[in-house]
Structure 1
Amino acid sequence: MIMFTEAEVMSFSYAVDFGVPEWLKLYYHVISVVSTVISFFSMYIILFQSGKMDGYRFYLFYMQFAGWLMDLHLSTFMQFIPLFPVFGGYCTGLLTQIFRIDDSFQTTYTAFTICLVASALNSCFVRKHQAISKISSKYLLDNVTYCIVIFLLNIYPVIAASLLYLSMLNKSEQVELVKSVYPNLVDKFASLPNYVVFDSNIWAIVFFAFIFFGCTYTLVLIVTTTYQMFKILDDNRKHISASNYAKHRATLRSLLAQFTTCFLIVGPASLFSLLVVIRYEHSQVATHWTIVALTLHSSANAIVMVITYPPYRHFVMLWKTNRSFHFASSQYQRSTLPNTRIQTERSIAVTITTH
């Protein structure tokens, strides 16, 4: 059971605002449109402007789609209004207003979509790692093992969401929790058509432990695969064409750049957990901004992907109809200067072919 001092309990009626912030409601509508436009554009160029990229494009598409799904749920279907320092809140989105979906289920689905983004990111790194491993076959997995790895990565969101759902209280238990822990807020909670409040129990502990394991595993996976991929490319540079070498490095650098946007998920989630522990006086406003950061992820990820991957960047900068993009060696090969690494990488350019 969550425990507070008497002074903390008595202060909740003054510290908690049960109203819907107008700026947050407006932000939900705006970011929903912006995220959808940017995400759909990014998914279009992944499918149709990736040149001769192999099946890896579908993993990139998966990651973009997962990010958009998370943002769409948070900004349109759920529209969560946190009530910190009360560990809970209520939803005002379409799932509540039209479909009357329980807030506990909506919160569970939020955990699923957030973990799905992590699973998609891990899948991208594994897929790229296997593509580069084919150069030397040193770290290459057989088809069965590869499928098992991908399956385990993508079952993670289902397990995480299930554990969170098991940790939730039923409606009668939530009412009792409000009466015992937040007595001054009983009338305000009663005025809400639906709400969700959380309590610490064994399933909640298991859930947070599982999330911590997932974050740690993701970090280890990305660091390990990245090191191995760069090492394979450097060790076998003489055995692959300059264009393939540059294409692999460009794709890998873009993927690493996209990984940095995950801090828009990890950062808010960590802050959210910290606020639960310390019960900061202005935590309700702080949690509003954590939601803002979360819903920026898919847009930020799409923009970073376009900026850091040359074919996509050139498509946006020189966007005209009937254009295709591919990596090719430029005329630097005709130069009599030594073929240094810098010259080789610079000689790989994006050639725009107008039909």
Structure 2
Amino acid sequence: MFTEEQLMTFSYTVDFGEPEWLKIYYHGISIVSTIISFFSMYVILFQSGKMDGYRYYLFYMQFAGWMMDLHLSTLMQFIPLFPVFGGYCTGVLTQFFGIDDSFQTTYTAFTICLVASALNSCFVRKHQAISKISSKYLLNDIPYIIVIFLLNFYPVVAATLLYLSMLSKENQVILVKEVYPNLVDNFAHLSNYVVFDSNIWAIIFFAFIFFGCTYTLILIVTTTYSMFKTLEDNRKHISSSNYAKHRATLRSLLAQFATCFLIVGPASIFSLLVVIRYEHSQVATHWIIVALTLHSSANAIVMIITYPPYRNFVMLWKPNRSFRFSKTQRSVDMNTRIHTERSFAVTMTSSRS
């Protein structure tokens, strides 16, 4: 924790300039993320074969991830000022539209929570599909719709709580003067910025985020256990191809869940930095943003690699090609053998004659 004396020296440890490497990274990852995300969404929509409506939930998750990356890397381009709890935006929304930094920060929370909601929706939808095998734990239409609605209403509540915790511009100026007096001139040169303070709404916001993370973990663990158990218990009652398809989809979904640590991990570190005010936290927050903007690209790549139909499409390899070749080869061998046997029979008949 910083002492009052250290608080007075923040002007020597906080860089108000725009890191050139971070700006270049923002532009680069925006292009890469858009290309990979759009390709993955194309694959989901047009290369999913006979996959049911679950494909649209996968599409939703990819789209939500791309929205988050686009906002962070292009629309917002946030420059953190830690250990000052705040920063300023340099993206399209600021330069061309003059959107307030507080609103942009609120929308960031919305997009991050939307990714989590989309992931939860995928698990619930897949659980419904597998539960139909035994009709156990299967939700009716109305309860299912309510569950999906509540999951996707979570980002709205989180963003609202964060916005309520925001200080007005006048109170932000007062906060800077009281807590960071040596930085008043630096802030004065910024056309727009946002600084946060601990208040009741901020406490409720962080508590709500903690609840959401805990709920997500419980939901994924319980539904995953239930889905694998249902598949094993009913393995004799479903076709081998259907069984393999469900397991492959489930393994891919779990692998995509693992990529969410690119969100949960940085968010946890960010919360820790807020509490301890680590001296070099400004550099650390730069890398937190880097990790966040890698999520949708990583998620798309993992999805394509771990789900066989998508992987086969990308590798330009048809899974049934070898089967067809073998089948054709067996047919040719069979015809050759029949022809040989007939020739042998004709020869023997001629000899006897």
Give me the TM-score of the superposition, normalised by structure 1: 0.89
Whole-Å Cα distance in 1 between the matches of residues 188 and 223 of structure 2?
Answer: 51
- 6-15 or 51-60: bigger deviation: 6-15
**Which residue in the other structure is 1:264 paired with?**
262
**Which residue in the other structure is 2:250 paired with?**
252
Which of 7, 10, 25 is equivalent to 2:8? 10
- 16-25 or 275-284: bigger deviation: 275-284
Are the aligned partners of 2:16 and 2:186 in contact in 1 as well (CA < 8 Å)? yes
Whole-Å Cα distance in 2 between the matches of residues 167 and 283 of structure 1?
Answer: 22
* Cα displacement string for residues 58-93 of structure 1 (whole angstroms, at most 9, x for unaligned residues): 000000000000000000000000000000000000
**Secondary structure of 1:90 counterpart:** strand
**Which residue in the other structure is 2:185 paired with?**
187
Change (3 A) 1:259 1:114: same
Which of 18, 24, 27 is equivalent to 1:26? 24
Give 1:10 shift.
1.7
**Secondary structure of 2:9 counterpart:** helix
Whole-Å Cα distance in 2 between the matches of residues 101 and 198 of structure 1?
Answer: 18
Match runs of 1:1-355 below 5 Å: 5-318=3-316
Change (3 A) 1:173 1:4: farther
**Which residue in the other structure is 2:331 paired with?**
none
Whole-Å Cα distance in 2 between the matches of residues 331 and 207 of structure 1?
Answer: 60
Change (3 A) 1:136 1:331: farther
**Secondary structure of 1:140 counterpart:** coil
Whole-Å Cα distance in 1 between the matches of residues 137 and 181 of structure 2?
Answer: 59
RMSD (Å), alpha carbons: 1.8
Uncovered stretches (5+) of structure 2, i.e. residues with no partner: 327-353
Give me the TM-score of the superposition, normalised by structure 2: 0.90
Number of matched pairs = 326
Are the aligned partners of 1:46 and 1:57 in contact in 2 as well (CA < 8 Å)? yes
- 72-81 or 4-13: bigger deviation: 4-13
- Return the letter of the residue paired with 2:311: R
Uncovered stretches (5+) of structure 1, i.e. residues with no partner: 333-355
Whole-Å Cα distance in 2 between the matches of residues 331 and 29 of structure 1?
Answer: 47
Are the aligned partners of 2:2 and 2:277 in contact in 1 as well (CA < 8 Å)? no
Give 1:277 shift.
1.1
Whole-Å Cα distance in 1 between the matches of residues 2 and 262 of structure 2?
Answer: 31
Whole-Å Cα distance in 2 between the matches of residues 78 and 257 of structure 1?
Answer: 29
Whole-Å Cα distance in 2 between the matches of residues 142 and 298 of structure 1?
Answer: 32
Whole-Å Cα distance in 1 between the matches of residues 53 and 296 of structure 2?
Answer: 21
Displaced runs of 4+ in structure 1, greater than 3 A? 329-332
Judging by fraction of residues, say which structure has more helix: 2
Whole-Å Cα distance in 1 between the matches of residues 151 and 275 of structure 2?
Answer: 30
Give 1:6 shift.
2.4
Give 1:5 shift.
2.7
Whole-Å Cα distance in 1 between the matches of residues 24 and 296 of structure 2?
Answer: 19
Whole-Å Cα distance in 2 between the matches of residues 269 and 210 of structure 1?
Answer: 14
Identity %: 84
**Secondary structure of 1:89 counterpart:** strand
* Cα displacement string for residues 186-240 of structure 1 (whole angstroms, at most 9, x for unaligned residues): 0000000100000000000000000000000000000000000000000000000
